[in-house]
């Protein structure tokens, strides 16, 4: 009889609808998992555009406003010589979201097309985006703390309109990764 | 067919393994891909109870007291976590404020509180309640993002340290402790391990 691993609690189960230990749904529903993952992926992709076009942070000095997008912020930090911070922001806010999009698209298409490939490598890629995914929110949290700290009469930091799109983009990529059932990777290859 | 409780499937390569008893500090890895499978958790209730109790106290400090104090010449400012979220709300970013409140206040609190309750229920043999708490913990633990916020504070300070004098306050240290507790729970204990532990204690 086929045994499956519960994605919620890790228990070993006979093939059934709910986990014998935690009681949560463990059905391996290929279609539903792919559809939900793709829907969240596309939503994230839509929010990725305004997140990069509009400023994420605005500074107000004596009534004049200056906004900067994520990439402008990275260049600005680099020019000022804050190389470690520029690299962290570049990795977390630009490279990680892009990497997540590429990996999610690769996983969704290979599962949908029932392509066998380096299964272990693909599972490791999945866990990589699951772990690194939330770290893209670092820039949003930097905005949160700077907004709270710098709100003087003549100088203030204000969130840019890109911050909502950026947070939503990260939120949807996390949902997309969560919706994709890792057990589907290589499921057809075993058969 | 062997008892399902004695079997474990590798999360990476799906290889089926038979569980073997481990000595304290030992961990089992997959024979095929060497991915982590499980480890010995004897006496975890006491550790979890003390760490999570301390975690709750530190979390209260991290929430209510200032994290950092800055001064730009005569201008001074300080902020705590709640104020930071309220300032987003005031700026009209309701969605981001609600999201930040959920992942930085609500879920981290639940993760620590549920860990405390789990340890308490296991010690008092209230296994059904322990299961309910573990179920809630399994669903929310991924959404606690205080560790990311902690790194974000450091980055924000690096961004302004040339222009301002920065003093870290008590909530910063308290938050560090809470983050360390969360790292302990997610990387050293793991939710799947707690489920195994609950199952062992329930059936033996």
Condensed to tens digits (0 to 9), the pLDDT of residues B43-64 reads: 888 999 999 999 999 999 999 9
Q: How confident is the model at residue A66 (pLDDT cuts 50, 70, 90)?
A: confident
Min CA distance, A103 vs chain B (Å)?
16
CA–CA dist A161, A148 (Å, integer): 17
Same domain? B126 vs B179: yes
CA–CA dist A152, A143 (Å, integer): 16
Q: How many interchain CB pairs under 8 A, A with B?
A: 154
Same domain? B109 vs B170: yes
| pLDDT (0 to 100) of residue B204 | 66
CA–CA dist A9, A22 (Å, integer): 7
Residues of chain B with pLDDT under 50: 1
Same domain? B33 vs B81: no
Burial of B47 from C-beta contacts in 10 A (0-12 / 13-18 / 19+) = middle
| pLDDT (0 to 100) of residue B198 | 93
B70 contact residues in A (CB cutoff 8 A)? 149-150
A63 pLDDT above the threshold of 80:
no
The kind and range of the H/E element at B128 are: helix B127-140
Whether the full predicted model's pTM is greater than 0.80, yes or no, is yes
Same domain? B112 vs B138: yes
A119-161 pLDDT, tens per residue?
A: 888 988 999 998 888 998 998 999 999 988 888 878 888 888 8
- Select from A12, A21, A144 the Cβ nearest to the Cβ of B85: A144
| Cβ-defined contact of B135 to A24 (cutoff 8 Å) | yes
Burial of B198 from C-beta contacts in 10 A (0-12 / 13-18 / 19+) = buried
Same domain? B15 vs B92: no
Arithmetic mean of pLDDT, A85-100: 88
Provide the domain count of chain B: 2
A2 contact residues in B (CB cutoff 8 A)? none
Is B31 in the A-facing interface, judged by CB distances under 8 Å? no
Same domain? B124 vs B100: yes
| pLDDT (0 to 100) of residue A191 | 47
Q: What are phi and psi of A158, to 5 degrees?
A: -125, 140
Q: Are B82 and B62 a contacting pair, CB within 8 Å?
A: no
| Cβ-defined contact of A148 to B13 (cutoff 8 Å) | no
Q: Are B144 and B100 a contacting pair, CB within 8 Å?
A: no
A190 pLDDT above the threshold of 60:
no
Q: Which CATH code is given to the segment(s) A30-190?
A: 1.20.140
Same domain? B8 vs B86: no
Neighbours of A16 (CB within 10 A): 10
Token pair 């299964």 is found at: A119
- Select from B12, B148, B162 the Cβ nearest to the Cβ of A124: B12
| pLDDT (0 to 100) of residue A68 | 83
Same domain? B23 vs B98: no
Same domain? B48 vs B34: no
**Average pLDDT of chain B, as a whole number:** 90
What range does the domain containing B6 cover?
1-40
- Select from A12, A22, A144 the Cβ nearest to the Cβ of B138: A22
Min CA distance, B189 vs chain A (Å)?
13
Across B84-191, the runs of DSSP E, i.e. the strands, are 165-168
The region that residue A62 occupies, defined by phi over 0 for left and psi between -120 and 50 for alpha, beta otherwise, is: left
Token pair 């949908």 is found at: A112
| pLDDT (0 to 100) of residue A102 | 95
CA–CA dist B131, A137 (Å, integer): 32
| pLDDT (0 to 100) of residue B178 | 93
Q: Looking at chain B from residue 46 to 85, which residues have their Cβ under 8 Å from any Cβ of chain A? A: 67-68, 70, 72, 75, 77-79, 83-85
Same domain? B20 vs B110: no
Same domain? B36 vs B55: no
Same domain? B69 vs B129: yes
Among all residues of chain B, which has the CA nearest to that of A158?
B91
Domain ranges in chain A are 30-190
| pLDDT (0 to 100) of residue B1 | 45
Q: Which two tokens stand for residue A75?
A: 């260049």
What ipTM was estimated for this complex?
A: 0.86
| Cβ-defined contact of A145 to B84 (cutoff 8 Å) | yes
Min CA distance, B50 vs chain A (Å)?
24
Min CA distance, A94 vs chain B (Å)?
16
């Amino acid at each position: 009889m086929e045994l499956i691993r519960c994605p919620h609690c890790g228990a070993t189960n006979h093939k059934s609808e709910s986990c014998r230990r935690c009681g949560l749904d463990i059905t391996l529903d290929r279609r539903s998992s792919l559809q939900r993952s793709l829907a969240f992926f596309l939503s994230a992709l839509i929010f990725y555009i305004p997140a990069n076009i509009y400023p994420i942070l605005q500074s107000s000095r004596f009534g004049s406003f200056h906004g900067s997008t994520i990439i402008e912020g990275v260049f600005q930090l680099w020019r000022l010589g804050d190389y470690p911070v520029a690299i962290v922001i570049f990795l977390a806010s630009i490279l990680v979201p892009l990497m997540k999009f590429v990996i999610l698209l690769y996983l969704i298409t290979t599962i949908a097309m029932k392509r066998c490939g380096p299964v272990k490598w693909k599972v490791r890629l999945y866990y990589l985006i699951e772990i690194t995914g939330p770290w893209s929110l670092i820039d949003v949290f930097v905005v949160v703390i700077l907004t709270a700290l710098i709100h003087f009469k003549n100088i203030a930091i204000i969130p840019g309109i890109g911050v909502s799109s950026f947070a939503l983009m990260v939120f949807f990529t996390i949902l997309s990764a969560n919706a994709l059932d890792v057990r589907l990777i290589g499921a057809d290859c075993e058969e | 067919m062997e008892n399902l409780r004695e079997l474990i499937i590798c999360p990476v390569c799906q290889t089926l393994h038979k569980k073997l008893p481990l000595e304290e500090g030992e961990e089992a890895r997959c024979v095929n891909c060497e991915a982590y499978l499980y480890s010995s958790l004897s006496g975890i209730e006491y550790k979890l109870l003390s760490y999570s109790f301390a975690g709750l106290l530190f979390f209260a400090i991290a929430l209510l007291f200032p994290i950092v104090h800055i001064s730009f010449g005569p201008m001074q400012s300080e902020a705590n976590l709640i104020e930071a979220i309220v300032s987003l709300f005031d700026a009209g970013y309701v969605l981001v404020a609600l999201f930040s409140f959920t992942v930085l206040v609500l879920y981290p609190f639940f993760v620590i509180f549920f860990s405390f309750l789990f340890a308490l229920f296991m010690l008092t043999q209230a296994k059904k309640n322990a299961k309910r708490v573990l179920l809630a913990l399994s669903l929310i633990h991924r959404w606690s993002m205080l560790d990311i916020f902690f790194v974000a504070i450091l980055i924000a300070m690096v961004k302004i340290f040339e222009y301002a004098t920065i003093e870290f306050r008590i909530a910063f240290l308290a938050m560090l402790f809470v983050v360390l507790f969360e790292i302990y729970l997610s990387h050293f204990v793991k939710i799947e391990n707690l489920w195994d532990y609950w199952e062992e204690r329930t059936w033996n």
